[in-house]
């Protein structure tokens, strides 16, 4: 992908080159690719269709998880969280050893691979809260519990200088990916 270096920042398309802005700066790319009907029907693109099917499944599973946790994510997610979560969901799907390639899914994959996923890469829990805690899930009773030992906030919370208050919020959801 080309980067624009000059003083004139373009946005739009000139000929077959598209100019656009991302958080990485001003970029340019050439129009290209293969006709969609060829990808959909040509036997040479079978693997592409399988990958696309699984990628779509990962995107939908990630959206389902984000929707379930939406109230908690409103003020905490970073700009690349969706792509990082889709990438993590792809790993879950690829761990499915039961289904055939192209039909692998989250249910038969390893959802445990999502353990420790940070929804805000710039505000990781492990670099902010140093107090010991234990999280437990009782699926039978339908309870999620976080036990947080008593602690001195000045010693166990890495907060910006001048901070006078803090709030610890936890949440959970039972999600049926079928």
pLDDT higher than threshold 90 for residue 55: yes
Residue pair 118/124 in contact by the 8 Å Cβ criterion: yes
Provide mean pLDDT across the span 99-112.
Answer: 93
- Residue 60 belongs to a domain: yes
**pLDDT tens digits along 66-99:** 999 999 888 776 888 999 999 999 999 999 999 9
DSSP code at position 98: S
Angle at CA of residue 53, ends 47 and 56, nearest 5°: 140
36 pLDDT more than 90: no
Name the percent of the chain lying above pLDDT 90. 45
pLDDT at residue number 169:
84
Question: Rounded to an integer, what distance in angstroms lies between the CA atom of residue 82 and that of residue 126?
Answer: 21
Instruction: Kindly write down the DSSP assignment for every residue of 100-166, as one continuous string.
Output: PTTS--TTTS-GGGGTT--S-TTS-GGGTB-S-EEEEEETTTTEEEEEE----HHHHB---TT----
Instruction: Please check whether residues 136 and 116 belong to one and the same domain.
Output: no
**Does residue 7 carry a pLDDT above 80?**
no
Q: What is the mean pLDDT of residues 120-124?
A: 85
What does the radius of gyration of the chain's CA atoms come to, in whole angstroms?
22
Beta bridge partners of 2: 28
* Domain with 27 in it: 1-32
Q: Using the CB atoms, write b or e for 105-142: b if 16+ within 10 Å.
A: bbebbebebbeeebbeeeeeeeeebeeeeeeeeeeeee
Whether residue 55 sits in one domain with residue 21: no
| pTM of the entire predicted model | 0.79
Residue 31: predicted pLDDT: 79
Total of domains in the chain? 3
Query: Residue 2 has what pLDDT?
Result: 65
The predicted pLDDT at position 106 comes to 94
pLDDT at 27 over 70: yes
pLDDT at 3 exceeding the cut of 80:
no
- Whether 127 shows a pLDDT value over 80: the answer reads yes
| Residue 129 and residue 113 in one domain | no
Indicate the average pLDDT of the chain: 88
Query: Does residue 2 sit in helix, strand or coil?
Result: strand
On whether the CB atoms of residues 94 and 106 are closer than 8 A, the answer is no
Domain presence at residue 169: no
- Report if residue 38 sits inside a domain: no
* CA atoms of 49 and 27, how far apart (whole Å): 28
Distance CA 56, CA 111 (A): 17
Whether the CB-CB separation of 144 and 135 falls below 8 Å is answered with yes
């Amino acid at each position: 992908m080309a980067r624009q270096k000059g003083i004139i920042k373009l946005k739009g398309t000139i000929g077959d080159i598209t100019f656009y802005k991302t958080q990485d700066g001003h970029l340019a790319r050439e129009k290209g690719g293969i006709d969609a009907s060829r990808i959909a029907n040509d036997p040479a693109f079978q693997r592409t269709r399988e990958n696309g099917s699984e990628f779509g499944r990962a995107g939908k599973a990630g959206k389902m998880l984000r929707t379930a946790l939406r109230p908690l994510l409103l003020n905490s997610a970073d700009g690349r969280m969706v792509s990082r979560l889709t990438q993590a969901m792809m790993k879950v799907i690829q761990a499915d050893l039961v289904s055939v390639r192209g039909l692998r899914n989250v249910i038969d994959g390893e959802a445990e691979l999502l353990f420790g996923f940070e929804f805000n890469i710039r505000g990781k829990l492990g670099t902010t809260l140093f107090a010991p805690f234990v999280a437990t899930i009782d699926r039978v009773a339908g309870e999620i519990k976080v036990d947080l030992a008593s602690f001195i906030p000045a010693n166990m919370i890495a907060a910006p200088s001048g901070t006078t208050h803090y709030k610890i919020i936890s949440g959970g959801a039972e999600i049926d990916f079928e």
